[in-house]
Chains A and B, each alone.
Chain A
Amino acid sequence: MSTVIPIGPFHPLQDEPANFLLTVEGEKVVDIEANMGYIHKGHELLGQSKTYDQVVVQTERICGICSVSHTVCFSHAVEDLLGIQVPKRAAYIRTILGELERCHSHLLWAGLAGHFLGYNTVFMWAWKYREPVLDILEALTGNRRTASIMKAGGVRRDLDEDHFPRVLEVMSTLRTQVKMLLDAVIDDPVIHSRTKNVGVLTHEDATDWCVVGPTARASGVDTDIRRDEPYGAYEDVNWKVIVWKDGDVFAKVAVRLLEIIESTKIIEQCVKQFPKGPILNEVKHIPVGEGIGRYEAPRGENIHYVRSNGTNMPERWKVRAPSSVNVPSFHASCIGESISDVTITLASCDPCYSCTERMAAVVSPDSKKILYSSADLVRMGQEKTRAIARELGRPPELPLKLDL
């Protein structure tokens, strides 16, 4: 007999409320279906009645975490339409802010992934390490998130170079901390047994579902917009694209943690060779035409398409965030997994989180009686980890009650 388990619409796995219907037979998931649109905001239609400068402000509100990504991506699209380059200093500012965003976004994910696995120490550590990154963002731009600094043609405000010694200091500390976290993850047999060969997205499936970012790179797809279509300062600094072959949750954890280390290196180099000069290439008029902008957001490739009809408002503005290609890949990665592994598999592609958990339940199709709530699903995941820890004769971590 098969049972249908709804996850969501409000669940800590997702930033946006989304409803996943898992069809299970016993413990195994046999089908998954997503229902989206609970917070569809109509950004694309709204943007068609705003001027280009106003759209930049609006793009920042698309995602709370990727606020730099979307604004830079839209600016890239307008710059592609105009065929202009941004000044060197502006490109460096964009790179520094973008990489700081990647650091804090990956740390946030690592923390939540730890929580779903029942490793609340990882959760506490990762979020503690994330805080200084946000402090730097606040010092540099005035806000922890939503810097309101981007503009088509460059940036609106300059960075204060007095803060750079502190940036270097935090980056070197962060690197040591993340390396320690990485060693802890790589050596831990319990994390191995919970994440190795769990939720595998094969190379073929990754290509077929057109996934992007760390989700694709963990499946051996060598894709990174920072290298494929270099923008900002990425051509001037030394860094490498992290690619793992396995495609399981463990590879996704490792790829993200290693990317934080690469990001800290990029930021350090940018800060050290920060150029002088103007920060804005003034845009006077936007002609008829079309442009496509791409940006490597923490979760993968962002793409914005802009068509202009010669007025000060876009004729059509299309936004595609990385999660909207990564999330459908659950069709490939979740089927065949057991329910207790689904929470971490769903979380593994980092589908934008929110801190809201209100409703999710396992309902028996016959009696409509609630069998498990979403807290139960997380608990099942954590209990499985503790059971494995006991088998391996390791002291189990104390359960932590968490009100998200």
Chain B
Amino acid sequence: MTAKEMMFHLSETFHEKVLLEAASDKRLYVRVQPEDLCEVVRYVYKEKKGRLSTATGIDTREGIEVMYHFSFNGFPLITSIRVTTPKHMPELDSVQDILKGAYWIEREIHEFLGVFFKGHPKLKRLLKARNIPENIYPLRKDFDLEKFKENRGDA
């Protein structure tokens, strides 16, 4: 399946809920609203047999952007579902109950960017060093390494 065919299927199913942009034949970027995220993820995983390769969290000017990259067995397409959540209160629905593959990556985004995933069973520290406090998010653009070192006392 090419990006065009996937665009057709998605716009047939979700109409104006999805904003589609095909970067090439193999790469499709889909922007959705936070409330439609689970619905679109469920469709791509169950109906289109997508495999959640990973999710990327990015701190942008508009807010924290999370992208779910779906791969497919048998053809080269990657469908990335893009969703933005406000920086002052980043909160998304967890897709962990749809597919367990999101179990670790949601924990990772939670600890490095501070996105709270509603419904995740164990949103605990996974990778971040023990000496970094829970409320400090190293991948945010306002993370100040020098200041952090000073506070920790090893500058």
Please give, as numbers and ranges, the residues of chain A lying within 8 Å of B69 by CB-CB distance: 292, 303, 305
With contacts A40-B128, A292-B78 taken as known, whether A328 is within 8 angstroms of B104 at the C-beta atoms is: yes
Check B19 for interface membership: any CB of A closer than 8 A: no
Please give, as numbers and ranges, the residues of chain B lying within 8 Å of A305 by CB-CB distance: 54, 56, 67, 69
Total A-B pairs, Cβ < 8 A: 96
The reply to whether B53 and A331 form a contact with Cβ atoms under 8 Å apart is no
Check B52 for interface membership: any CB of A closer than 8 A: yes
Interchain CA distance A173-B55 in the complex, whole Å: 42
Check A366 for interface membership: any CB of B closer than 8 A: no
Residue of A nearest to B103 (CB): A328
Q: How far is the CB of B54 from chain A (nearest CB, A)?
A: 4
Give the dominant DSSP class at B's interface.
Answer: mixed
Check A383 for interface membership: any CB of B closer than 8 A: no
Interchain CA distance A315-B56 in the complex, whole Å: 13
The reply to whether A318 and B51 form a contact with Cβ atoms under 8 Å apart is no
- Chain B interface size, under 10 / 10 to 19 / 20 to 34 / 35 or more: 35 or more
Please give, as numbers and ranges, the residues of chain B lying within 8 Å of A83 by CB-CB distance: 24
Q: 1/0 contact trace for B61-102 toward A, CB 8 Å?
A: 000000101011111101010000000000000000001110
Check B48 for interface membership: any CB of A closer than 8 A: no
Residue of B nearest to A305 (CB): B56
Check B129 for interface membership: any CB of A closer than 8 A: yes
Interchain CA distance A65-B145 in the complex, whole Å: 30
Interchain CA distance A249-B42 in the complex, whole Å: 31
Interchain CA distance A305-B99 in the complex, whole Å: 21
Interchain CA distance A80-B3 in the complex, whole Å: 15
Please give, as numbers and ranges, the residues of chain A lying within 8 Å of B76 by CB-CB distance: 228-230
Residue of A nearest to B80 (CB): A292
Interchain CA distance A77-B103 in the complex, whole Å: 25
The reply to whether B78 and A324 form a contact with Cβ atoms under 8 Å apart is no
Please give, as numbers and ranges, the residues of chain A lying within 8 Å of B24 by CB-CB distance: 80, 83
Measured CB to CB, the residues of B under 8 A from A are: 23-24, 26-27, 29, 51-54, 56, 58, 67, 69, 71-76, 78, 80, 99-101, 103-105, 125-130, 138-139
Measured CB to CB, the residues of A under 8 A from B are: 34-37, 40, 42, 44-45, 80, 83, 207-212, 221-223, 228-230, 289-292, 294, 301, 303, 305, 307, 315-316, 318, 320, 324-325, 327-328, 331-332
